[in-house]
Amino acid sequence: MPELPEVETIRRTLMRLIGLRKITNAAWTYEPILKTDSEKFKTVLIGQTFREFERRGKFLIFQLDTVSLVIHLRMEGKFFIKDPSCPLLKHEHVVFTLDNDSELRYHDTRKFGSMHLIESTCLHEVVRNTPISKLAKEPIDEGFSYKDILTPLQRRSSAIKTALLDQTVISGIGNIYADEICFLSALHPQTPCNRLTMEEIMRLSENSKIVLTKAIDLGGTTIRTYESVDGVHGRFQHELMVHGRKNQPCRICETTVKKIVINGRGTYFCEKCQPLKTIDVEKNMK
């Protein structure tokens, strides 16, 4: 469920709550989450201290003394800090006991999330040995501009929403923010990438930056099950213009917001504010 703003919020919260805490035990009840040899997972992590908390796209990177933990929350991954006396919930699959007698618990209803243990604290090494190496720039990266997405967009014929969700084109955007970015850019989410004008591509890149920045400021979006840590909700849901607003009036023009499916993802848009350019040169020539 979490996109870049939610993952960033989680990163900041965990840095505050468990920074410089030492792991005294590691345990799990569902092994497939661990993408590393499980015995190593336990023996290596015990005794190590959380030093740095990084994020790349939707990946979290925790750097400890001699290793790094690379975590992807996928659809439903969450963290909680709990007292060891709290009964373990059904979906709390991984538990790190900390040196202040509290537990960092990883909760994941759908079990899609992953944890990789990388035996290095060097970010270059970590990136090189994980799928992070395939990520494109983030809209909030220093110096990000339309030039970073120009070539991939011109090369594709797929819907712009599909390209916004492709982490090798631009990283950090997910289903909610893709809809919001298309709306702010006044572009129909099904517009083929290779039919965008230069000006439209500039609008998309600027709005990507604006939307993600504001969402981070508000601690992310809580519309279904997202919470940062310990049940803390985001506040960006109050700013949503189209996502999740099927059959409700557009906040700008009152036209009924439509829901369609693009590449298997629910997609919300206003057909008046985001008209699909009727394709043709031929039409104009008549």
Q: CB nearer to DNA: give 2 or 139.
A: 2
Segment interacting with DNA (CB under 7 A) among 41-49, 93-101, 105-113, 197-205:
105-113
Helices (H), 36-172: 38-45, 123-128, 147-155, 160-165
Residues 214-273 that bind DNA (CB under 7 A): 220-226, 234, 244, 261, 263-266
Could you tell me the smallest distance in angstroms from the CB atom of residue 64 to DNA? Answer: 23
Could you tell me the smallest distance in angstroms from the CB atom of residue 127 to DNA? Answer: 13
Catalytic site includes residue 265: yes
What is the longest distance spanned by two Cα atoms in the chain?
Answer: 76
Does 176 bind DNA (CB under 7 A)? Our answer is yes
3, 8, 92, 200: which one contacts DNA (CB under 7 A)? Answer: 3
Catalytic site includes residue 246: no
Q: Which x/- pattern, by CB under 7 A, does the window 56-95 give for DNA?
A: -xx-------------x-xx--------------xx----
Q: Which x/- pattern, by CB under 7 A, does the window 106-125 give for DNA?
A: ---xxxx-------------
Does 175 bind DNA (CB under 7 A)? Our answer is yes
User: Where would I find the beta strands (DSSP E) of the chain?
Assistant: 23-28, 52-56, 59-63, 68-72, 77-82, 92-98, 103-108, 114-118, 258-262, 265-269
Please state, in angstroms and rounded to a whole number, the distance separating the CA atoms of residues 221 and 234. 5
Of 203, 191, 207, 206, the closest CA to residue 156 belongs to 191
Q: Which x/- pattern, by CB under 7 A, does the window 132-171 give for DNA?
A: --x-----------------x--xxxxx--xx-x-x----
Q: Give the number of C-alpha atoms closer than 13 A to the C-alpha of residue 176, restricted to the C-beta side.
A: 24
Please state, in angstroms and rounded to a whole number, the distance separating the CA atoms of residues 268 and 249. 12
Please state, in angstroms and rounded to a whole number, the distance separating the CA atoms of residues 121 and 263. 37
Helices 147-155 and 198-217 pack at an angle, to 10 degrees, of: 120
Binding-site ranges for DNA (CB under 7 A): 1-3, 6, 32, 57-58, 72, 74-75, 90-91, 109-112, 131, 134, 152, 155-159, 162-163, 165, 167, 174-176, 193, 220-226, 234, 244, 261, 263-266
